[in-house]
Amino acid sequence: MAEECNRILVVDDDEMMRDSLYEMLSHDAYLVTCVDTAEKALKKMKTWPVHLFIVDLKLPGMSGINMLKKLDVMNNIYEAIILTAYGDMNTAKEAMELGACSYVAKPVEYKKLAPRVKKALEIVKQKKVKLDYLNELESKIRERTKKLEREIEQRKQAELALREQRKYAESIVNTAQVIVLVLDKKGKIVNYNPYMEEIAGYTINEVKGKDWFDTFLPERDRSRIRVLFKTAVGDTQTRGNINSIVTKDGREREIEWYDKTLKDDNGEIVGLLAVGQDVTERIKVDRALKENNRFLIDLISSIRDGVFVLDENGVHITVNPAFCRMTGFKKKELIGTGLPHPYWPEEEYDNIQNAFKQILNEDFKEIELVFKRKNDERFPVLINPSSVKDFNGKTISYFAIVKDIKEKKKAEEVLRENERKLYEQNIMLNEKNIALREVMDQLEAERDKVAAQVNSNVDRFIFPLISKMRTKGSDIDKTYFDLLEENLKELTSQFADKMSEKMFRLTQKEIELCNMIKRGMTSKEIANLLNISHRTVETHRNNIRKKLGIGKTDTNLVTYLKNM
C-alpha cells in the first residue's frame, strides 16, 4: 500500500456500522473518516483528499447511487465500494456502471471487505501513476510545442530584424553626420556616404575607383598615412588617428579616423572600413581652450587671496600659490586629493562637510570656517564659493576664494575688548551722573529753603526798619530808601533770576543803573542821585543797550527792562 493512497471516507447512516468499519480499517493503518450522509461526504472531500469511498446505497437524503453520479469515479483519481443490505443485483450493477470498483453485501464481513479495499487502493495508485505520467507527457509535449513555436517565431523575428537592421544600417550610413568610407586592399575608393560627399565636394561617382591617398591627402601626409593603411589592412585595428584631407575647393579639413578590416565569408581580407569624424572645429576650440586655460591659470596665480578649484566630486584640480603659502602644502601635495582635504582639521569635519554640501547645492553664501596648516596650526578663513558650468548648464567644477582672517579676527577681538571697556566706562559715568543729579537736587532744595528764609527775614526785619527810617530822613534819603526797598524786593523775586540770566555781562554799577532806569528815573535824576555827570549816565546807558543786544534797535530800554 502506497503511503499517499490510504485515505478512506466511510458514508453510512448506521452508527454501529461506521464505528465497526472505522476500527477495522484503522487497525490496518488506513486513514479513516466517517460521515452519515452523502451531502456531508461531498462537503468533506473538498477539504480532506479521499482515495476510496465506502458508500451505503441506502442513505437519508441523497442516495448512494446519486452520490456516485456526483463523484464521477471513472474520471477521477479515487474509487468507490458499495455497501448494500438487499443483495439487489440490479442496484449493484448500476453502481458498478457508475464507476464503483466493487460491492459488499451487509452485514459486512471484514475478511471480504479487506481485499476489495486493498485492490481498490491499488487501482487508485495505478490511476495516479498513469495520470502523473500523462501529465508529465502532456507537459513535455506542451513545452516542446512552445519551444518549437518560439524557435519558429525567433527565426521569423531574426529574419525580420536582419532586414530591418540592413535598412537601418543603410539609413544610418546615408544620414549619419560622420564619414563612412570603404577602400579596397590597394587603397582604391569603393564607396562613401553622402556626408563625405558634402565635406569633400566630390560625389562618389566622381572618385570611385581612384586612389584615396593621391585624391584626398595633402602630399606631406601621404607616406605616413599609407603606412597606417597597410597596418590596418593587415588586420591591426587603428583608432583615433587624425589627419587632413583636401576638399574639392582646396580647403583642408581635420578628420579623426577609426578603422576596421573587412573580410569575406572565407575570412579573407577584402578591404577597409573607415569611419571618420570632422574635428576641424573641435581642434580650433581645443586650441582656444588651451590658451584660455593658460590665461586662467595665470589669472588665478596672480590673485593675492588663496584659490582652489575642485571637480564635481570634490577632487582638487588646481590651487594658486597664495593658497599653498596659506596652508603650507605644496601644489603637488594637493592636486588630485579628494575628501577630506588635507587642510581640514579633524574636529571641524562636520562643519566643513555641511559647508561643502551647501556648495554642492549651489548655495554660494560667504562661509567662515577653520582650516589647518601643514604644521597643524589652525587658522580662521573666509570662503567665497562659486561654480563653473558647461554650455548645457551642468556644473563641471567648483572654485573658491579663501581669505586668511586671522589678523582680522585679532583686530575684531581688540575692538570687542575696547567696546567692552567703553561699555563699562559708560555704566560708571551713568552711575556718576545719577549721583551728581541727586547732589544737585539736594543743592536746589537747600537753595529754595535758604531763599525762603531770606525772603521771610527781609519781610520781617528789614522792610519795617526801612519804613521807620524813611519817615525821619530827607527827600534824598527817601529816594535812597525807595531804591533800597525796590532792590531788596527784586533780589527776593524772580526778577533777580531773570537778571542773572540776561544780564550776566553787566557790571555792578550798570546793574544799579538798570534798577533806576526800570523805575522810570531820568538820566538827570540818576546823575544827581549818584553824584556823577549826565554824560557818564548816557555812556552807561549805551553800554547797557549793547550788552543786552538792543544797541542798534529802537527798543525802549525802560520797557525792555520791565519785560524782563
Spell out the SS3 assignment of 248-265. Answer: CCCCEEEEEEEEEEEECC
Q: How many CB atoms lie within 10 A of CB 415?
A: 10
CA of residue 72 relative to chain centroid, distance: 70
Average pLDDT, the chain: 83
For the segment 388-409, what is each residue's pLDDT rounded down to a tens digit?
Answer: 887 788 888 888 889 988 888 8
8 A C-beta contact, residue 193 and residue 174: yes
**Same-fold call for 7-135 versus 473-563:** no
Looking at residue 324, its pLDDT comes to: 93
Spatial distance between the Cα atoms of 242 and 136, rounded to a whole number of angstroms: 65
Fold designation for 7-135: Rossmann fold (3.40.50)
Residue 52 is inside which H or E element, if any?
strand 52-56
Could you tell me which of 67, 77, 72 has the C-alpha nearest to residue 43?
67
Per mean pLDDT, which range of 3-7, 278-282, 470-474 is the poorest? 470-474
DSSP state of 270: E
Distance (Å, rounded) from C-alpha 153 to C-alpha 310?
55
- Compare 107 and 8 and report the one with higher pLDDT: 8
Mean pLDDT of the region 284-307: 81
Q: Does domain 473-563 have CATH number 1.10.10.10?
A: yes
Q: Which residues, other chains included, contact 58 with Cβ-Cβ below 8 Å and sequence gap of 6+? A: 13, 64, 84, 85, 86
The closest alpha carbon to 32, from 15, 18, 46, 14, belongs to 18
Distance CA(146)–CA(154), nearest Å, equals: 12
pLDDT value, residue 495: 43
pLDDT number for residue 339 = 83
Cβ partners under 8 Å of residue 221, min gap 6 = 243, 244
Residues 398, 309 contacting (CB under 8 angstroms): yes
pLDDT at 2 over 50: no
Cell 562659486 appears where?
A: 386
Tell me the C-alpha distance between 69 and 80, whole Å: 11
pLDDT at 21: 92
| Cα–Cα distance for residue pair 481/477, rounded to 1 Å | 6
Cβ atoms of 108 and 83 within 8 Å: the answer is yes
> Model confidence at 492, in pLDDT bands (50, 70, 90)?
low
Contact 373, 357 (CB under 8 A): no
Q: What is the largest CA-CA distance in the chain?
A: 187
- For residues 59 and 67, is the Cβ–Cβ distance under 8 A? yes
Spell out the domain ranges in the chain: 7-135, 176-278, 285-404, 473-563
pTM of the model: 0.34
What residues are paired with 378 via a beta bridge? 372
| Conformation bin of residue 211: beta by default, left when phi > 0, alpha when psi is -120 to 50 | beta
Which residues on neighbouring strands pair with residue 306, listed in sequence order? Answer: 402
**Rounded Cα distance, 142 and 139, in Å:** 5
Confidence of residue 54 (pLDDT cuts 50, 70, 90): very high
**Which has more confidence, 449 or 365?**
365
CA distance linking residue 356 with residue 348, whole number of Å: 12
Dihedral sign of CA atoms 216, 221, 227, 233 in order: negative
Q: How far apart are CA 310 and CA 393, in angstroms?
A: 17
* Alpha helices for 272-370 (secondary structure H): 280-302, 321-327, 331-334, 349-360
Mean pLDDT to the nearest integer, 448-457: 68
CA distances from 326 to 317, 337, 348, 355, 380 (A): 18, 17, 18, 20, 11
Query: pLDDT (tens digit, 9 = 90+) per residue, 139-192?
Result: 888 888 888 888 888 888 888 887 887 777 677 777 778 899 999 988 999 999
Lowest mean pLDDT among 278-287, 425-434, 487-496, 505-514: 487-496
Strand partners, 386: 399
Grid coordinates standing for 477?
534819603
Return the CATH fold of 285-404: Beta-Lactamase (3.30.450)
pLDDT by residue (tens digit) across 410-424? 888 888 888 888 888
Q: For the segment 319-369, what is each residue's pLDDT rounded down to a tens digit? A: 999 999 999 999 899 999 988 889 989 988 888 888 877 777 777 788 888
Number of other CB atoms surrounding residue 254 within 10 Å: 17
Residue 202 is predicted with a pLDDT of 93
Task: Find the length of the chain.
Answer: 564
State which CATH number among 3.30.450.20, 3.40.50.1000, 1.10.3720.10, 3.20.20.70 fits the domain covering 176-278: 3.30.450.20
The pLDDT value given to residue 517: 87
Hey, how many other C-beta atoms are within 10 angstroms of the C-beta on 244? 16
DSSP string, 387-446: EEE-TTS-EEEEEEEEEE-HHHHHHHHHHHHHHHHHHHHHHHHHHHHHHHHHHHHHHHHH
CA 261/CA 72 separation, integer angstroms: 73
Q: What's the pLDDT score for residue 362?
A: 75
For residues 153 and 450, the model is more confident at 153
273 vs 492, which has greater pLDDT? 273
**491 pLDDT higher than 70:** no
Q: Which amino acid is at 283?
A: I
Per-residue pLDDT at 201? 93
Mean pLDDT of 227-241: 79
C-alpha span between 534 and 523 (Å, rounded):
6
Residue 39 — very low, low, confident or very high, per pLDDT cuts 50/70/90?
A: very high
- Answer whether 65's CB lies under 8 Å from 98's CB: yes
289 alpha carbon, distance to own chain's centre: 32
Q: Which residues contact 137 (CB under 8 A, 6 or more apart)?
A: none
Query: Taking Cα atoms as reference points, which of 531, 529, 553 lies closest to residue 542?
Result: 553
The neighbour count for residue 79, using CB atoms within 10 Å, is 28
490, 464 Cβ separation under 8 angstroms: no
Mean pLDDT confidence for 204-215: 92
Tens digits of residue pLDDT in 63-83: 888 888 888 877 788 888 988
